[in-house]
Structure 1
Amino acid sequence: MLLIKSFILGLSVSAPVGPIGLLCIQRIISRGKAAGFMTGLGASSANLFYASIAAFGFSIVSSFLIEQEFVLRIVGAIFLFYLEIKIFLKRPAKSASNLEGDGMVSMFLSTFLLMITNPVNILNFVAMFAGLGFDHSSTSIGSTLSLIIGVFLGAVSWWLILSSVVSLFRKKITNHLGLVNKMAGLMIVVLGIMSFIK
């Protein structure tokens, strides 16, 4: 039961379209379904990291990361801005390319690094886990692992669904890739700034 609840939680946490969601969509359109999924996998892995800290109650690690929140958000904002300037200025390819080799690792790592610069996610997971009735101090390791795995699987499932749906329209949108790049670049920067201010 806990696994199902945490799966739904992971799905719902990932579903709102923010800077990472738009980045994922842009990469699907320009690089293919694999690029979108690896982008989402990077985001899911960052959520897995923070969910683990929240679930196992690593208060020392949690406190340190939250104390460094401002610095990490600055780093994340700069990195996001850099990525989206590249997207905005990128010339559309004559044909959509598929992601291979090191490109997959790059897609994964860039999104993981963006997500990991927001340590306040630890507090979000603590609050959400409490809402599920979870208490790390009185819960077995097996239940804790079920909670974390459920969140991860739910998040991964969302990114797989998004990648699959967007890729269905990829060929139609590819002809307007230049405009898509500019719109995506601007929107992601705006959402990133709003997120940072918040």
Structure 2
Amino acid sequence: MTALAGVVFGLALAAPPGPMNAIIAEESVLRGWAAGFRAGLGAMLADVLFFVLALAGVVAVVDQYPPVRPALYVIGGVLMLYFAIGAVAEARSAASFTDDDRGESTGFRKTFALSLSNPYQIGFWLTVGVGLLESGRLDVLSYLPGGSESLAGVLVVQTGSPSLLIGFFAGIAVWIVVFPAVLVSAGRRVDAFAPAVAALSALVLAGFGLIFLATGALRVF
């Protein structure tokens, strides 16, 4: 039960729309499943790194230096806008889905860099992530996007358990395997799917980039 709860938690965190999934989608429809999987692996590797740092107590150091978070918002925002420009170029050049070589795949480096400068991801490991490591109880469904009070207490598991942590990362792994596969399958059926997804990815990255920049600026001033 605890391992299954970890899988649900990992899927719930990995699945919502955002900059990481935008890059995974772009890589999947333009370069095939392997490229999409590698992009997902970049984000997952960053989570593994944050997990190790949280285990060592290093991540908590970020909270001791208030200027760090605004700087991360600005860095993350600039990176997203830069990647959005690249996605626009990809959308213009993509006539249809292809799993052939369209140049070097940079999805892994993109998601890894964005994850390392993502205040939300760091914030998760400063709070919930640390809670996963400590012995106690976790109300899993209360952390789902759009979770309400009606879900409180429905799925409560013991934290600090190795099976919970294994399930958590297994859930993320399932997502980065299945999500690119679904996109590739759809892309092979509809030629217009690839440029449309690339364009949507550009919009998502640009939108989050502007939000991050605005948030960083507000925190500074």
Under a length normalisation based on structure 1, what TM-score does the superposition of the two structures give?
0.76
Aligned to 1:189: 206
Deviation for aligned residue 1:132: 5.8
2:169 aligned to which of 152, 164, 170: 152
Q: Relative to structure 2, which stretch is displaced further, 115-124 or 14-23? A: 115-124
Contact 2:27/2:36, CA 8 A, preserved across alignment? yes
In structure 1, how many angstroms separate the alpha carbons of the residues matched to 2:66 and 2:191? Answer: 41
Pick closer, same or farther for the CA change 1:167–1:70 going to 2, 3 Å: same
In structure 1, how many angstroms separate the alpha carbons of the residues matched to 2:204 and 2:174? Answer: 25
Deviation for aligned residue 1:66: 6.7
- The answer to which structure, 1 or 2, has the higher relative contact order (CA under 8 A, 6+ apart) is 1
Pick closer, same or farther for the CA change 1:65–1:170 going to 2, 3 Å: farther
Deviation for aligned residue 1:12: 1.3
Structure having the larger proportion of residues in helix: 1
Aligned to 1:166: 183
List structure 1 runs of 4+ shifted beyond 6 angstroms: none
Contact 2:31/2:99, CA 8 A, preserved across alignment? yes
Deviation for aligned residue 1:52: 2.9
Contact 2:32/2:100, CA 8 A, preserved across alignment? yes
Q: 3-state SS of the aligned residue for 2:201?
A: helix
**How many residues are aligned here?**
190
Tell me the alpha carbon deviations over residues 28-57 of structure 1, each in whole angstroms, 9 at most, x when there is no partner.
111111111111111111122223333443
Q: Relative to structure 2, which stretch is displaced further, 187-196 or 10-19? A: 187-196
Aligned to 1:47: 47
Give unpaired runs (5+ residues) of structure 1.
137-142
Pick closer, same or farther for the CA change 1:151–1:53 going to 2, 3 Å: farther
Aligned to 2:63: 63
RMSD (CA atoms) = 3.2
Q: Relative to structure 2, which stretch is displaced further, 27-36 or 67-76? A: 67-76
In structure 2, how many angstroms separate the alpha carbons of the residues matched to 1:85 and 1:6? Answer: 36
Q: 3-state SS of the aligned residue for 1:174?
A: coil
In structure 2, how many angstroms separate the alpha carbons of the residues matched to 1:99 and 1:69? Answer: 40
Deviation for aligned residue 1:145: 5.4
Pick closer, same or farther for the CA change 1:66–1:108 going to 2, 3 Å: farther
Aligned to 1:77: 77
Q: 3-state SS of the aligned residue for 1:181?
A: helix
Q: 3-state SS of the aligned residue for 2:104?
A: helix
Contact 1:50/1:119, CA 8 A, preserved across alignment? no
* Identity between Structure 1 and Structure 2 (%): 25
Aligned to 1:111: 111
Under a length normalisation based on structure 2, what TM-score does the superposition of the two structures give?
0.69
Contact 1:66/1:120, CA 8 A, preserved across alignment? no
Contact 2:115/2:121, CA 8 A, preserved across alignment? no
